[in-house]
Amino acid sequence: MQAAQEKKLRKVVYLTFPPESSNKPVVCDLARVYGLDFSILKAQITPRHEGQMTLELSGPAEAFEAGLAYLRDQGIGVAPAAQRISRDDACCIHCGMCTALCPTRALSLNITTRFVEFDDEACSACGMCTKVCPVAAMDVLLENGVM
Ligand code: SF4
Ligand code: SF4
């Protein structure tokens, strides 16, 4: 019988590397060994040679958990990074592209004013709008001081 379609996860995580692991290719292993997609949002090395990295990770749930367990086994601290979306109202040109794909209808067209309205209470921070906005009015903010 065909296996049920695997559940996919997408999360932003904040990693802290002790000095002894800051030069190991552990993040590459997430893709090479565990098949996860990653995008480095921010990385820095402190004066004590500890590494800090904010990483967006996506992939099948099982591989995701295995990949995070691998990082922890390497002595790397893994913490969720709370993500929030904001809109630069001065930048938005009300083109409406984001409204077509917003899953929670946090972005919607006001048919009276023809302006696109953003309800941040309804936003699930999925990030879809940030990928299509032609003027980059939608921005991702990470809330634990890492960006
Ligand atoms: S982040 Fe997702 S839920 Fe929030 S406004 Fe953008 S598309 Fe809608
Ligand atoms: S895609 Fe960008 S410019 Fe267009 S309505 Fe949405 S936020 Fe505004």
Best probe residue, ligand 1, of 10, 56, 123, 130 (max atoms within 8 Å of C-beta): 123
Which residues constitute the domain of residue 62? 8-80
- Note whether residue 115 is domain-resident: yes
Rounded to the nearest angstrom, the distance between the alpha carbon of 134 and the centre of ligand 2 is 7
Does 1 fall in a domain? no
Q: Is residue 2 part of a domain?
A: no
Q: Is the pTM of this model over 0.85?
A: no
- 55 alpha carbon to ligand 2 midpoint, in Å? 25
Residue 67 and residue 100 in one domain: no
Asked whether residue 28 is domain-assigned, the answer is yes
Cα torsion through 30, 101, 90, 147, rounded to 10: -20
Q: Do 95 and 57 fall within a single domain?
A: no
Structural domain total, the chain? 2
Write down which residue in 65, 80, 95 finishes a domain.
80
119 in a structural domain = yes
Ligand 2 pocket, mutate which of 102, 116, 128 (most atoms under 8 A from CB): 116
Claim to verify: residue 48 and residue 90 sit in the same structural domain: no
Same domain, 59 and 109: no
* Domain end call among 80, 105, 124: 80
Neighbours of 58 (CB within 10 A): 14
The per-residue pLDDT for range 98-146, each reduced to its tens digit, is: 999 988 899 999 999 999 999 988 887 778 899 899 999 998 877 654 4
82 lines ligand 2 (CB under 6 A): no
Domain boundary (62, 80, 98) is at 80
Q: What is the pLDDT of residues 27-72, one digit of tens each?
A: 999 999 999 999 887 777 777 777 888 888 889 989 989 999 999 9
Counting ligands in written order, the one closest to the CA of 92 is 2
